[in-house]
Amino acid sequence: MSTRVEAASGMTEVMKWLASALLLTAGLAGFYYFSDHSVLLRVIGLLVAIGAAIAVGVQTQRGGELWEFMRESRTEVRKVVWPTWKETQQTTLLVFGLVTLVALMMWFLDTLLAALMRLLLQQGG
């Protein structure tokens, strides 16, 4: 009996995902089909279709899990201690300085190796 319930549940999930995909496809098709109408109205229609597709998708098990993950992620982002403006400026300047230093070191090494290669090739030829 449980296999019939699981099969029906699985079929319901598939139907919901199909409905979500059809809503999204219809919204995109409508956006391009009504190209002679106002862009504002077309964008509003597309956003409504996307919203409806998301609403149907969230009703599935995976969609619900994704929605819960997004809610938890938002909560975690709120817990982050962001750097101050001064710390951001100092870190940015430090990165630029180190990148410049490494670039100069690589340029010097490249010049040195090129001179060494010229010296070796001239003596061998």
Residue 4's pLDDT is: 61
- pLDDT given at position 12: 86
Tell me how far apart the alpha carbons of residues 31 and 86 are, in angstroms, rounded to a whole number.
46
pLDDT at position 38: 93
Q: What is the pLDDT of residue 45?
A: 94
pLDDT in single tens digits along all 125 residues of the chain: 566 656 567 788 889 999 999 999 999 999 999 999 999 999 999 999 999 999 999 998 888 898 899 999 999 999 999 999 999 999 999 999 999 999 999 999 999 999 999 999 986 55
How confident is the model at residue 7, as a pLDDT? 59
Whole-number pLDDT of residue 1? 54
- Please state the pTM of the whole predicted model: 0.54
Neighbours of 35 (CB within 10 A): 8
**Cα-Cα-Cα-Cα dihedral sign, residues 29, 32, 36, 37:** positive
